[in-house]
A = this chain, B = another copy of it.
Amino acid sequence: MTKPDDTPEPMLGRISVPKSYEVLADRLRQTILDGSLAEGERLPTERELVSQTGLSRGSVREALRKLEVEGLVKTKLGRLGGNIVSRPGNDSMAHVITQFVRGRRLSLRTLQETREALEPSLARLAAEHRSKDDIVRLRELNAEMGQALDDRNRFAAINIAWHNAVATASRNDLLAAFLYAISYDVVASTVSEEYDTPGLRKEVVGVHERIIVAIEAGDGDAAFRRMERHVKATRAKTRAREDSDLPPD
């Protein structure tokens, strides 16, 4: 199987021709991340970028489109509009993660496992880093849930907010963003299940309160354990649907 050795040694690596919009996107990205452009500042107008780079308007716009998806710029229309530098937010990351989940048709089981991996740790970190305001916020939301026992959808919505509030209290933006990204999908597949009765909802409020107590006391281990049990309980009740794919849309 020795093939005719026309070119024994490659000598030259594969030549890759970079596309102009990629190059521009990379350079703009670097400029932004360098800190040369503060958040909220406008980068040059499209026409300026054209004259600065020698590229066409189209290429410039394609580069901006990429940065937009990455969450590094937001485009505003009209006079005093422009392409404004912004910090990547939870939403931009959530968007991409959502495409990942849907595109690969990840099972509900996978999402549930992910949640079980994230939430206990978030609770522990919340216990270590929480502020007074965080506790107030958590109690507020939990009280709201207590008043929405009869409204399944409203209850579910506040429930998401509560779990994300725990994530916020953790002071870990990355983990919080992960949870934020999947929380919608998880709940969308979980809500309006037969197990979801007012009685069980009341139970949830009680469990939340005990978790809040642990967080307030700064007891990371307890917060971890209680949250772990809490999310696992959710899974147990969803087991019937396990391994099923996500509903379309």
Chain A residues in the interface with B (C-beta under 8 A): 21, 29-30, 32-34, 58, 61-62, 65-66, 68-72, 87-88, 92-93, 95-97, 99-104, 106, 110-111, 113-114, 116-118, 121-122, 125, 172-175, 177-178, 182, 248-249
A selection of 20 A-B contacts at a CB cut-off of 8 Å is A30-B249, A33-B103, A58-B61, A65-B66, A66-B68, A69-B69, A70-B95, A71-B100, A71-B103, A88-B104, A97-B174, A100-B177, A106-B173, A106-B174, A110-B172, A111-B174, A114-B174, A114-B175, A117-B118, A117-B122
Question: When the two chains form their complex, are residues A100 and B174 in contact, meaning their CB atoms are under 8 A apart?
Answer: yes
Question: Least Cβ distance of A16 to chain B in Å?
Answer: 11
A70 to B70, CA, bound (A): 9
Across-interface contacts of A104 in B (CB, < 8 A): 87-88, 173
Question: Least Cβ distance of A92 to chain B in Å?
Answer: 7
Question: When the two chains form their complex, are residues A99 and B110 in contact, meaning their CB atoms are under 8 A apart?
Answer: no
Question: Least Cβ distance of A194 to chain B in Å?
Answer: 27
Most buried by B among A32, A111, A177: A177
Closest 8 CB pairs of A and B: A117-B121, A69-B69, A88-B103, A88-B100, A96-B96, A65-B65, A70-B99, A62-B65
| Count of this chain's copies in the oligomeric assembly | 2
Question: When the two chains form their complex, are residues A99 and B117 in contact, meaning their CB atoms are under 8 A apart?
Answer: no
Question: When the two chains form their complex, are residues B103 and A32 in contact, meaning their CB atoms are under 8 A apart?
Answer: yes
A72 to B102, CA, bound (A): 10
A105 to B100, CA, bound (A): 24
Question: When the two chains form their complex, are residues A65 and B103 in contact, meaning their CB atoms are under 8 A apart?
Answer: no
The contact of A66 among B69, B97, B100, by CB within 8 Å, is: B69
Whether A70 touches B96, Cβ cut-off 8 Å, given contacts A62-B65, A65-B65, A117-B122, is yes
Across-interface contacts of A101 in B (CB, < 8 A): 174
Question: Least Cβ distance of A24 to chain B in Å?
Answer: 12
A97 to B58, CA, bound (A): 27
A114 to B69, CA, bound (A): 24
